[in-house]
Amino acid sequence: MEPRIGVYVCHCGSNIAGTVDTAEVTRFAQGLDGVVVARDYKFMCSDPGQELIKNDIRDLDLNRVVVASCSPTMHEPTFRRACQEAGMNPYLFEMANIREHVSWVTEDREQATEKAKSLVGAAAARVYYHQPLETREVAVNPNTLVVGGGIAGIQAALKVADSGQKVYLVEKDPSIGGHMAQLDKTFPTLDCSACILTPKMTLVGSHPYIELMTYSEVVEVAGFVGNFKAKIRKKARYVDEDKCTGCGVCQTKCPWKADSEFELGLSQRKAIYTPFAQAVPNTPVIDKEHCAYFLKGTCRACEKFCEAGAIDFEQADQFVEIEIGNIIVTTGYASFDPTPIAQYGYGRLDNVISGLEFERICNSAGPTEGEIFLKDGSHPESVAIIHCVGSRDEKYHEYCSRVCCMYSMKFAHLIKEHTDAQVYELYIDVRSFGKGYEEFYNRVLSEGTVFIRGRPAEVTDVAETPEEKGKLIVQFEDTLAGLQRRLPVDMVVLSCALEPQPDTDVVARLFNISRSADGFFLERHPKLDPVATMSDGIFVAGCCQGPKDIPDTVAQASAAAAEVLAVISKGTIEIEAATAVVDERICSGCQFCKMVCPASAISFDEEKVVCRVNEALCKGCGACVGVCPSDAISLSHFTNEQIVAQMEGMLAEPVGKPT
Amino acid sequence: MKSYSYYPGCSSEATATGLDLSAKAIAKPLDMELIELEGWTCCGSTPYSSLDRLEAVVLAARNLALAEKTGLDLVTPCSSCFITLYGANLQLKENPQLMRQVGEALAVANLEYRGNVRVRHLTEALVIDVTPEEIASKIQDGLNGLKVAPYYGCQLVRPDYGFDDPESPQSLDSLVTSLGGEAVPYPLKNRCCGGSLIISEESLALGLIRKLLDNATENGAQCITTPCPLCQINLDAYQSRVNSKFKTSFNLPVLFVTQLIGLALGIDGKSLGLDKNIVSPGPVLEHVSRVKQEVKSGA
Amino acid sequence: MGWVWARLKLRTTCDWKGVWGRVKPRTPCWSGENHELMRHYGSLPLGQVYANIWFAVKSFVDEVAAVPGGEHIRNCIQCGVCTGTCPAASEMEYPPRKIIALIRAGMRHEVLSSPSMWHCVSCYLCTVRCPRDIKPTEIAHALECLAIRQGFRVQGTRTPAMYRSFVDSVQRNGRVHEFGMMLKFYLTTNPLAALKITKVGLQLLLHKRMPLLPKKVKGREDLSRIIQRFRAVRSSA
Ligand SMILES: Cc1cc2nc3c(=O)[nH]c(=O)nc-3n(C[C@H](O)[C@H](O)[C@H](O)COP(=O)(O)OP(=O)(O)OC[C@H]3O[C@@H](n4cnc5c(N)ncnc54)[C@H](O)[C@@H]3O)c2cc1C
Ligand code: SF4
Ligand code: SF4
C-alpha cells in the first residue's frame, strides 16, 4: 500500500502563526515524499479542524497523517481518535511539535519557520514507515495502595474503601494521623483538630475494606497501572497486634524514657509507647534504641505485666507482598528546621519556638496541658510571631508555604484565648486567600493583635535599654511606618515553612514520580491534571505535592480517590500498542534486557535460551532495546527504520521552495 | 612548609603595623612562609569602589596579576583588602568583557591576569591550612584561660566565602580555644564597628563601637581579638573617644588575633608590635606571664 | 521630540545656566524629576550632560540595574529585612528598603542627592539576610558611583570627601597614605573638627602608627599608567 500522507499545520491562533510562517511550512510540506495534501488551519484540535482530516482521509484516500501543532502530551490522543473515526489505524498518525519546541522558544521568525519545516519533514519521513498496530486492554486489579496515613491518606483510603474496594494503607509511624494529629485547633473555623480527625482515624482502623499497616514502609514497587506489585516491610513492633488489647499497662510499667517524637521533644514517652492517646492502631511499639532489655539484656517489665501476653521480643521485620491496580502517594511534608537561620536564635535562645511546637504547647493534651508557659514557668506578657521563616527566601525555600499566615493568625487568637498577652504578627504580606480566611484576619485584627509589616532582621537577648533587659528583642523595620524598631517580647514563635519530606528523593524513585523545582512531587498538569503523575496509575495528594491547608488536602485526596475509582470501575485499561519484540533468531540469551526491564515483562526461556517479552506487561519504554548487545530487540512504533527516516527527514536539505 | 604570596595592605604601613609584624612573626613557627608581593599597590577598597566601581577593579587586578606570577595563593591579613581582592577576582572571572578591558590596561605595564589566583584571608589559612589542632600542638604555655571576646567584624565572613558562617562564625573561637584561651560568648561578634566611616561619620561609628565594647565587657572578656585592621583601630584607638562621648570607662585591650597567637607561642611583645597598641595590653601580658611563672614555679 | 531639540540646543550653546532656562519649558516628556536634574548641570562637562539627558529618558530603575551591583533591584519584595538589619539605618533618611522603593518610583534626584547611601558601613548584613539576593550593600555603592558620575553635590555627609581624599592619596602614592588622607579630608571639610580627634591622632603618632610621610612605592607609576589606559579603553568602548 503506497503511503498517501496528509500534513496539517496548525496556527494555534497566534501561538504558532505569530512566530512561524505556517503558509510557508505548508508549501514546504506539499513538496515532501508521499505527501498528497498539506493544509494549514487556525485550530486543528477544534471540531472543524478534525473534520478537515477526516474528510481528507475519506476523499483523498489518505493512509498517513501528520499534524504539526503542539506537544503530543496535549493532543496526540485527539488526533489519533480523529484518524480512527475516519477508518485509519491511529498508529499511522504522527505529530510534529512546532509550538513548545518552536514558536514558544524561538523569537526569530525565519529561524522558527526553518525549524518547523525540519520537524515537519522529519515527521513526514517517519510516518512513511509507520505500521498499523492494535492497542490491547488488560484487566485492572481493583485493590489500591495508599502510602502515608496523614489526613490525605486517611481521606483517600476511606473514599476508595467506602465504595467497597480493598485498600492497603501503609504508614511509617506507629500511628496514622500525620501532622493534623499534632495540631490544636484548625483555622479558620477553629474546630479542634483531634475532634474532627479521630473519628476518621477510628473508621480507618475498623474499616472492613482497609488493611492498615502502620510502622511499615513500601520497599519495592513493580508493574504498571492496573497491575502493580508492592513489597512492604512491617517493622518489628515487638508487640503482637492480634493479642494486644491496647490497655496500656505496659507503658505505665516501663521504666525507660526517651524524648517523644510526637511532642517534638517537649516531653518524654516510654520505651514502649503509642505516640498519643488516640493513636490508631492502639497497639504500642517498643523503641529498641531506648529499651532496657534490648540495651542491657534485662527488664522485660512490660512482658511481666501484659495480661494479654502480647509482648514478643523475638519478633522480626516482616515482608508482605501485595498486588494492586493503583497507588496514591500521600506522604505529606516536613516542618522546616529554623536552626540554620542563626539570627532568629532558635535552639540558642529560650522561648524562641517553632510553629509546630506552639501547637503542642497550646494543646490541652500536650506537654503543658494547654497552658502557655515560658521556660521559667511564667506566662508570657507579649508574644511576637514571625511569618515566612524559611519560606519566600531564596536561601531556603523560594515558595510561599501557603498556610503559615493563617496558622500564625490562629496562634494569635489562641494566645489571646489562653493568656492576656499582647500579640504581634510580623509579616511581609498577609495571604488569607481561602473561604472565610479574610474574615478570620479581620477577626484577629479586631481582637487586638498588632500587625506589623516587616520581615524581622533578628531576635536577640542583647539589651540596649533597661526595658529590654531579660526580654527577647525582635529587631525589624516597620515598613509601613518607615521606622527601624526594637520590640521586647517574652516569646517568639517562628512560623516555619512546610518543606518536602527528607526522604522525598527515595520515595520519588520508588514510585517513579518526578519532582518540581521546589522538591515536592510533580503533578501531571498543574491545572488540568493535579493529582495524576507522569506514571499512570500513581497519584499524589496532600502536602507531598506542595504546601497546602487541610481543606485543599482533603479535596485533593478525594480527587485522587475518584481517579482511582474511575479506573477500577472501568475494569480494564488500554495499554500502549508499542511493545518490544525479541527476534529469537538473533537473541543470544544474555538476559541483559531482563535485568533492565522496569516492568518485569521479560522472561527467559531456559529451553530455547532466548528471552521473550510479555506484551501485556511491556510498557514500551525501550530500555531493553538500548541495552541488547546483539540488536535482537526492536520496539514496534520505534523501529530503527522509523527513527533513521525521522533523522534523515530532519537533516535533509530543504527542498526547493515550490512557488 | 606552605608558602603564600603575602599582601599586607596599606594600613600595614601605618595604623596596623602590629598586624603586619605579628603575622610575619607567627608565620615561621607555624610553618608558613609569607612572601610579600613585590611592588603591591592599593587593593581598590570600598572608598575607591564607591566612587568608581570598575576602576577599583583595575587596582585589584594589578595585584592579582602580580600574585599570579608567583603561582601561590594570595593571602592578606586585612579583611577589607580581602573582600576587595576576592570580589574583584570574582567579578573579573564572571565578566569577560571587563576582564578584556582590564587586560588591555594591565598590558601597558607588561602585566596580564588570567584569573588563576585564589584570594584568601590569613585567618582562613590559619584555620583551614594550619588548623587549630596544629596550633594547639605548638603552644607551650598558652593563654591559660584568658577570657577573650573573638571579634570577627564584617568582611571576614560576609557576604559569604564558604569558610565560616556569616551569621554565627566560629573560626576565631576555635583559634582562641586552641591557644588555651577561653572564647567568651560574644553575641555581637560579627556586628559592624563602623569601618572607615569613623572618619566621616564619627558619631555613627562611635555608637556601634560602644555596643561592641559593652557586649564584650558584659560577657566578662579580658580583651578583644580581631583580625581586621579597621576593627582594631576603631576599638582600640577610638576607645577613648567612646569613653568621653558616652561617659563610659572602658579599658579593654584589643589585640590582633595574630598577636594573640604570637603571645601563646611565646614570642616577645615587641616583635608582635604590642607596644603599638593604644589601650595597653599590659593586663593581658601579665595574665599570660603569670601563667608562665606558675608553670615554672610548679615545675 | 523634546529631547532631540534639547540636544541640539545644548550643542550650540555654552551658557549652561541659560541652557537650563531654555530646556525646561520645552521638555514635558521628562517630567519634573528631570528638571531637578538639570539644576546640576552648571559645572558639568558636555559628555556628562549628554549622559544625564540620556539617562533621563531611560527609567531610573533600569539605570541602577545597569550598574554592577544593581542587577537584582527589580526582585525586591520590600520585606524590610535590610533596613531592619542596617546598623546605620538611624542615620539614613532613606534606609535600604526605602531607597529601593524610591528608585523604582523613579525619584532620581531625591535618591542621588541624598546622603543616605553614604552612611552604609559595608557590613554586608543586609546582603546576607535579603531573601531575594538583592545585595543592598552593592546598591548603596552603585548609587554612590552614579551620584558621583552625574555630578550630584551631596549635603549632609562627609563620606564623599573622605572617599575622595582616599582615592587621591592612592592615585598619588600607589597606596593610601593614611596621614595624608586624613589631613586632606579635614582640610577640605571642617578643619576644626580635627580638634576632636587630636588625642586619637597624637596617640597614633606616639605609638608609631601614623607615619607623616608616604613611602615611595615601586609600582606607583605603573599603577597610574594602568589607570590612564583603563579610562581610555573604557571610554572608547
Ligand atoms: C504549625 C502548623 C499549623 C497548621 N495549622 C493548620 C490549620 O489550622 N488548618 C489547616 O487547614 N491546616 C493547617 N496546617 C496544615 C496541615 O498540617 C496540612 O495541610 C496537613 O497536615 C497535610 O496533611 P497530609 O496528609 O498531606 O500530610 P501529613 O500530615 O504530613 O501526613 C503524611 C503522613 O505520611 C507519613 N509518611 C511520610 N512518608 C512516608 C513513607 N515513605 N511511607 C509511609 N508513610 C509515610 C507520615 O508519617 C504522615 O503520617 C498546619 C501546618 C502547620 C505546620
Ligand atoms: S531585604 Fe531584600 S527583598 Fe527585603 S526589602 Fe531589602 S532588598 Fe528588598
Ligand atoms: S551593608 Fe550598608 S546598607 Fe547594608 S546593612 Fe550594612 S550598612 Fe546597612
pLDDT digits (tens, 9 = 90+) for A569-594: 999 988 778 889 999 999 999 999 99
Instruction: Specify whether A517 is located in the same domain as A558.
Output: yes
- What's the CATH code of the domain at B17? 1.20.1050.140
Mean pLDDT confidence for A521-540: 95
For residue A477, the chain C residue with the least C-alpha distance is C84
Residue C154 is assigned to a structural domain of this protein: no
Q: Band of the pLDDT at A614, cuts 50, 70, 90?
A: confident
Residues with CB under 6 A from ligand 1: A 147-153, 170-173, 178-180, 183, 186-187, 217, 330-333, 335, 355-356, 359, 403, 407, 410, 498, 501, 503, 507, 542-543, 548-551, 553
Contacts of C54 (CB under 8 A, 6+ apart): none
Instruction: Specify whether A542 is located in the same domain as A446.
Output: no
Residue B76 is assigned to a structural domain of this protein: yes
CA distance A501 to A499: 6
Burial status of residue B165 (CB atoms within 10 A of its CB: 0-12, 13-18, 19 or more): middle
Alpha-carbon separation of residue A652 from A28, A125, A649 (angstroms)? 12, 10, 5
Q: State whether the beta carbon of C88 lies less than 6 angstroms from ligand 3.
A: yes
- Cβ(A550)–Cβ(A332) below 8 Å: no
pTM: 0.87
Instruction: Specify whether A387 is located in the same domain as A491.
Output: yes
Residue B207 is assigned to a structural domain of this protein: yes
pLDDT string in tens for chain C (237-residue length): 344 444 433 433 333 333 333 333 333 333 333 334 444 444 444 455 555 555 555 789 999 998 888 889 999 999 999 999 999 999 999 999 999 999 999 999 999 999 999 999 999 999 999 999 999 999 999 999 999 989 998 889 999 999 999 999 999 999 999 999 999 999 999 888 888 888 999 999 999 999 999 988 888 899 999 999 999 998 887
Structure-derived torsion over alpha carbons of residues B141, B143, B144, B148, reported in degrees to the nearest 10: -170
Q: Band of the pLDDT at A49, cuts 50, 70, 90?
A: very high
Q: What is the pLDDT of residue C39?
A: 42
Report which ligand 2 atom has the smallest distance to the Cα of C75: 3
- Cβ(A355)–Cβ(A335) below 8 Å: yes
Instruction: Specify whether A490 is located in the same domain as A448.
Output: yes
CA distance A127 to A76: 14
Nearest to B192 among C123, C189, C229 (CB): C123
Q: State whether the beta carbon of C136 lies less than 6 angstroms from ligand 2.
A: yes
Angle formed by the axes of helices B229-236 and B17-27, to 10°? 130
Mean pLDDT confidence for A53-72: 96
- What value of ipTM does the predicted structure carry? 0.92
Instruction: Specify whether C163 is located in the same domain as C144.
Output: no
What is the number of structural domains in chain C?
3
Instruction: Specify whether B116 is located in the same domain as B13.
Output: yes
Q: State whether the beta carbon of C96 lies less than 6 angstroms from ligand 2.
A: yes
Residue B88 is assigned to a structural domain of this protein: yes
Q: Provide the mean pLDDT of chain A.
A: 95
Question: Does pLDDT of B298 surpass 70?
Answer: no
Contact map slice: A 458-487 vs B, CB within 8 A: 460-462, 464
For residue A463, the chain B residue with the least C-alpha distance is B215
Report which ligand 3 atom has the smallest distance to the Cα of C86: 5
Residue A312 is assigned to a structural domain of this protein: no
Q: Which residues in chain A are closer than 8 Å to C85, comparing Cβ atoms? A: 457-458, 475
Instruction: Specify whether A605 is located in the same domain as A540.
Output: no
Q: State whether the beta carbon of C122 lies less than 6 angstroms from ligand 2.
A: no
Mean pLDDT confidence for A193-222: 97
Instruction: Specify whether C80 is located in the same domain as C143.
Output: yes
Q: Which residues in chain A are closer than 8 Å to B188, comparing Cβ atoms? A: 462
Contact C145 B52 (CB under 8 A): yes
Residue B201 is assigned to a structural domain of this protein: yes
Secondary structure class of A231 (helix, strand, coil): strand
Q: What is the pLDDT of residue A617?
A: 77
**Which tens digits make up the pLDDT trace of B71-113?**
999 999 999 999 999 999 999 999 999 999 999 999 999 999 9
Instruction: Specify whether C54 is located in the same domain as C77.
Output: no
Domain extent, residue A297, equals 249-305
* Å from CA of A185 to ligand 1 middle: 14
Burial status of residue B297 (CB atoms within 10 A of its CB: 0-12, 13-18, 19 or more): exposed
Report which ligand 3 atom has the smallest distance to the Cα of C89: 8
CA distance A624 to A594: 7
Residue A647 is assigned to a structural domain of this protein: no
What is the number of structural domains in chain B?
2
- Residue with the bigger pLDDT between C49 and A510: it is A510
Contacts of A23 (CB under 8 A, 6+ apart): A40
What is the number of structural domains in chain A?
5
B94: its cell numbers: 564572571
A425: its cell numbers: 504578627
- Ligand with an atom nearest the CA of residue C126: 3
- What's the CATH code of the domain at B149? 3.40.50.11810
Nearest Cα residue to B23 out of B158, B128, B173, B125: B125
Q: What is the pLDDT of residue A13?
A: 94
Residue B130 is assigned to a structural domain of this protein: no
Q: What is the pLDDT of residue B283?
A: 93
A175 DSSP 8-state letter: S
- Cβ(B196)–Cβ(B238) below 8 Å: no
Residue B134 is assigned to a structural domain of this protein: no
Residue A641 is assigned to a structural domain of this protein: no
Report which ligand 3 atom has the smallest distance to the Cα of C119: 7
CA distance A102 to A116: 7
Hey, is the C-beta of B190 within 8 angstroms of any chain A C-beta?
no
Residue C194 is assigned to a structural domain of this protein: yes
- Residue with the bigger pLDDT between A411 and C26: it is A411
Domain extent, residue B285, equals 139-297
Residue B235 is assigned to a structural domain of this protein: yes
Instruction: Specify whether B174 is located in the same domain as B274.
Output: yes
- Domain boundary among the residues B122, B154, B185 is at B122
Q: What is the pLDDT of residue B296?
A: 59
CA distance A145 to A229: 10
Instruction: Specify whether C232 is located in the same domain as C207.
Output: yes
Residue C39 is assigned to a structural domain of this protein: yes
Hey, is the C-beta of C78 within 8 angstroms of any chain A C-beta?
yes
Q: State whether the beta carbon of C123 lies less than 6 angstroms from ligand 3.
A: yes
Instruction: Specify whether B203 is located in the same domain as B290.
Output: yes
Residue B156 is assigned to a structural domain of this protein: yes
Instruction: Specify whether B94 is located in the same domain as B183.
Output: no
- Shortest Cα–Cα distance, C143 to chain A (Å): 21
* Å from CA of C81 to ligand 2 middle: 6
Q: State whether the beta carbon of C78 lies less than 6 angstroms from ligand 2.
A: yes
Alpha-carbon separation of residue C186 from B10, B194, B206, B241, B244 (angstroms)? 20, 19, 18, 17, 21
Q: What is the pLDDT of residue A136?
A: 82
**Which tens digits make up the pLDDT trace of A253-307?**
999 999 999 999 999 999 999 999 999 999 999 999 999 999 999 999 999 999 9
Size of interface B-C (CB pairs under 8 A): 208
A64: its cell numbers: 498517513
Q: Give me the phi and psi of A268, to 5 degrees please.
A: -115, 160
Instruction: Specify whether A521 is located in the same domain as A605.
Output: no
CA distance A99 to C114: 50
In the β-sheet with A93-97, what is the strand arrangement from edge to edge? Answer: A35-41, A5-10, A64-69, A93-97
- What's the CATH code of the domain at A214? 3.50.50.60
- Ligand with an atom nearest the CA of residue C130: 2
Residue A258 is assigned to a structural domain of this protein: yes
Q: Which residues in chain A are closer than 8 Å to C80, comparing Cβ atoms? A: 428, 453-455, 476-479
| CA A457, A463, A467, A469 torsion-angle sign | positive
Alpha-carbon separation of residue C226 from A306, A436, C178, C181, C236 (angstroms)? 88, 67, 23, 22, 15
Question: Does pLDDT of A46 surpass 50?
Answer: yes
Residue ranges of alpha helices (H) inside A521-630 are: 550-570, 592-596, 623-627
Q: What is the pLDDT of residue C12?
A: 33
- Cβ(A186)–Cβ(A197) below 8 Å: no
Which H helix or E strand runs over A213? strand A210-213
Domain extent, residue C121, equals 73-149
Residue A646 is assigned to a structural domain of this protein: no
Instruction: Specify whether A342 is located in the same domain as A466.
Output: yes
**Which tens digits make up the pLDDT trace of A238-268?**
999 999 999 999 999 999 999 999 999 999 9
**Which tens digits make up the pLDDT trace of A366-390?**
999 999 999 999 999 999 999 999 9
Instruction: Specify whether A185 is located in the same domain as A228.
Output: yes
Q: How many residues does chain C have?
A: 237
Instruction: Specify whether A550 is located in the same domain as A626.
Output: no
CA distance A74 to A86: 21
Q: Which chains touch B (3 or more CB pairs under 8 A)?
A: A, C
Nearest to A462 among B167, B168, B187 (CB): B187
Contact C83 A477 (CB under 8 A): yes
- Look-up of cell digits 498528497: A36
CA distance A141 to C161: 81
- Domain boundary among the residues B73, B92, B122 is at B122
**Which tens digits make up the pLDDT trace of B139-161?**
977 898 999 999 999 999 999 88
- Shortest Cα–Cα distance, C63 to chain B (Å): 15
In whole angstroms, what separates CA A393 from the centre of its chain? Answer: 22
Which H helix or E strand runs over A9? strand A5-10
Instruction: Specify whether B250 is located in the same domain as B283.
Output: yes
A529 DSSP 8-state letter: B
Instruction: Specify whether A92 is located in the same domain as A110.
Output: yes
Q: What is the pLDDT of residue C43?
A: 42
Contact C222 B204 (CB under 8 A): no
CA distance A361 to B192: 38
Q: Band of the pLDDT at B293, cuts 50, 70, 90?
A: low
Pairing of strands A93-97, A64-69: parallel
Instruction: Specify whether B76 is located in the same domain as B150.
Output: no
Instruction: Specify whether A449 is located in the same domain as A412.
Output: yes
**Which tens digits make up the pLDDT trace of A418-436?**
999 999 999 999 999 999 9
Nearest Cα residue to A563 out of A160, A163, A77: A160
Instruction: Specify whether B10 is located in the same domain as B109.
Output: yes
Q: What is the pLDDT of residue C55?
A: 53
Residue C197 is assigned to a structural domain of this protein: yes
Residue A643 is assigned to a structural domain of this protein: no
Instruction: Specify whether C226 is located in the same domain as C167.
Output: yes
B280: its cell numbers: 595597653
Question: Does pLDDT of A659 surpass 60?
Answer: no
Instruction: Specify whether A116 is located in the same domain as A65.
Output: yes
- Domain boundary among the residues A499, A525, A559 is at A499
- Domain boundary among the residues A107, A133, A159 is at A133
Question: Does pLDDT of A164 surpass 70?
Answer: yes
Residue C68 is assigned to a structural domain of this protein: no
- Domain boundary among the residues A559, A575, A591 is at A575
Contact A394 C133 (CB under 8 A): yes
Residue C203 is assigned to a structural domain of this protein: yes
* Å from CA of A458 to ligand 2 middle: 14
Residue-wise burial string across C19-58, b where 16 or more C-beta atoms lie within 10 A, e elsewhere: bbeebeeebeebeeebbebbebbeeeeeeebeebbebbee
Question: Does pLDDT of A657 surpass 80?
Answer: no
CA distance A47 to C25: 61
Q: What is the pLDDT of residue C11?
A: 37
- Cβ(C123)–Cβ(C87) below 8 Å: yes
Q: Which residues in chain C are closer than 8 Å to A478, comparing Cβ atoms? A: 80
Q: What is the pLDDT of residue A656?
A: 44
Hey, is the C-beta of B168 within 8 angstroms of any chain A C-beta?
yes
Burial status of residue A420 (CB atoms within 10 A of its CB: 0-12, 13-18, 19 or more): exposed
Q: Provide the mean pLDDT of chain B.
A: 94
Mean pLDDT confidence for B183-198: 96
